[in-house]
Amino acid sequence: MTGKPFPSVWLREPRKATSPGRSREEIVRAALELLDEEGLAGLSMRKLGAKLRAGATSLYWYVANKDELLELVYDEIWGEMTVPDHEEVGWRDAAAALAYSMRQVIVRHPWAAEFVGRLPALGPNALWVANELRKMFKAAGFTGLDTDYAIATLTAYVYGMTIPEIAWNKSTGGHVYDADEMRAAVAKAAAPFPEMLESVDMATYDDPKAVREIAFDFGLVSVLDGLERRLAT
């Protein structure tokens, strides 16, 4: 039985520009701007062609389809992530800094949340980040498959905390709910559950952004504590 070929723009050589000033890099930058401005639904080859003052058909010389274009743009944001030298700051601080940076990049480019687990991260930027992560955890003392499990644990935590935040921001359309009204609504819904009511009166409830950042910090420290404890045992 013959398996299905694995498709990826990174598995073929890029085509050279056919006209002065046009390049795959230029197309990727323009697509990134469109995605940041209008989201995934706002990106089309026609719109991209108009932005570049080129016909949509001509863009297919550089990318075979929209999915290939999205792969290229997805890798572009991996290049924005901060990856400290673990030999200078230690594996734990390096891993924490990368986790914070990963979250910030996804929040800055919310459309990217839809690509996690959907598009292959085989571009040079993504592979560089993945390689640095491996070096961090191997320096910590992880070996064999435990290295992969540790990396998966950290990245799953970042995605698990950040993607729902993106979904909430998208569903609210940037609207900020009145804190008192929301507190009253939650108190009414949670009336049969007294344990839940404790959090309704928290002062930080007025600032959901602060709560999310504190929660992310708490969870990240806990994850790193757990990984460090595994090494000790």
Quick: pLDDT tens for 27-86.
Answer: 999 999 999 999 999 999 999 988 988 877 778 778 888 888 999 999 999 999 999 999
pTM of the model: 0.85
**The dihedral formed by the CA atoms of 80, 86, 88 and 90, expressed in degrees to the nearest 10:** 130
- State residue 172's pLDDT score: 75
Domains and CATH numbers, the chain: 9-77 (1.10.10.60), 82-232 (1.10.357.10)
- State residue 17's pLDDT score: 59
Q: How many Å apart are CA 184 and CA 192, to the nearest integer?
A: 14
**The dihedral formed by the CA atoms of 146, 124, 70 and 16, expressed in degrees to the nearest 10:** -160
